Amino acid sequence: MKQATDLSAQFNRVQQIALGIGAVSVIVSIIGLFFNSEQFFQSYLVGYIFWLQLSVGSVFILAIHYLVSGRWGVVIQRILEAGSTTLPLMALLTIPLLFALPVLYEWARPDAVAHDVLLQHKAPYLNVPFFVFRVLGYLVLWTAVAYLYRQWADRRDQTGDVAMHDRLKSFSGPATAVLGLTVSFASFDWMMSLEPHWFSTIYGIIFGVGAGASAFAFATIVLSLVKDDGVFKGKLKPLQFNDLGNFLLTMVVLWAYVELSQFLIIWLGNLKEEIPWYIARSTHGWNVVAVVLILFHFGVPFLFLLLRTNKRHYGRVAAIAWVIFVMRFVDLYWFIMPAFKPQFTIHWLDFSIILGIGGLWIALFVSQLKKRSLLPQFDPRLQEEVPHGQPATSESF
């Protein structure tokens, strides 16, 4: 009982700190809006997309968890559910961007469209009313899927009805397909259309993989912080962290694969319509950011997670999860900001806005997480024996 009370007090403290940091950062960012509105909205776009990908990634991993019925997902299910329930907040926070479309997007400026044949050709898709309709549609759909997962999981916990597990699994097939499609189009709309003369058919996959990596990294970090809660006694073993480490390894390898595939195809094609995107991101300081991504979004995590002893130690897995989580912001910054800045620079609004949105996101996440048991009740997978060998001893922790 004391352990549960201590964890509840820690949740309350984290929530208060996050809310405080978020509120102060929002106020500071609003002040920055009056001094440099263009920079404000550029930084806001990066910060918004970073936290949005975490919310959407949580729903997507939750869908995969139910679809494959993996035991690995039970220990992070509540974390993913809490992350997915932040989508209403992200829907609210999208409003400032919808009012700033002409500031951010060339296709939203009538004078630019009037003098550009390509923009006129893309106008049936890239226009303000249809863009707003699509964005609102994505958010409503994602929120609805997250709501159904939460409601059905709660009903299973309350009634112990095993049929609810079958419903969740059946729902997750089409949900995974729809989420994958809408996340891809959302990345086209929010990010790729910043440079409407350039396009890539693998762009949506790159963003989706990054969102999944963010969700896995964040869930691993949170699990490492709450693992001492009594509800995990006898159920959370080094093998679960080994599984999460394997997923993190998979995500960073897949991220590197799709990134390299896009680069090689464009480099080999050497077409003037395609290469400017990479030229902008490999010169004037952005090349340093690219090297940082290669080293710390792929190289270091890949080598670290190859070792089983590392993956079965919660502290080491959590540390590399932190690296991946931070690199997700660097990756998005490298994708988005060169569309506005030929020279690599960092503005203080980049930090204040991501802290402002993040503080609100974390506060809401914690408020949802602390409302329920950290493990689902009556989940048949909790009783399953580990199928792939004996877990390591608790000394690995």
Token digits for 154? 């709660």
> What is the amino acid identity at position 19?
L
Query: C-alpha distances in angstroms, 1 versus 190, 224, 374?
Result: 47, 20, 15
| CA distance linking residue 176 with residue 171, whole number of Å | 9
Instruction: Look at residue 68 in the predicted model and tell me its pLDDT.
Output: 87
Q: How many residues does the chain have?
A: 397
DSSP one-letter code for 72: G
Cβ of 175: how many Cβ atoms within 10 Å?
Answer: 23
| CA distance linking residue 285 with residue 251, whole number of Å | 27
DSSP one-letter code for 231: G
pLDDT in tens, 324-371: 999 999 999 999 999 999 999 999 999 999 999 999 999 999 999 998
**For range 162-187, the mean pLDDT:** 91
Which percentage of the chain shows pLDDT scores above 70? 93
Q: Which of 224-233, 289-298, 379-388 has the largest mean confidence?
A: 289-298
* CB contact burial 299-324 (16+ within 10 A = b; e otherwise): ebbeebbeeeebbbbbebbbebbebb
> 41 pLDDT exceeds 70?
yes
Planar angle of CA 294, 295, 298, nearest 5 degrees: 65
| CA distance linking residue 324 with residue 269, whole number of Å | 31
Confidence of residue 377 (pLDDT cuts 50, 70, 90): confident
Contact between 249 and 306 under an 8 Å Cβ cutoff? The reply is yes
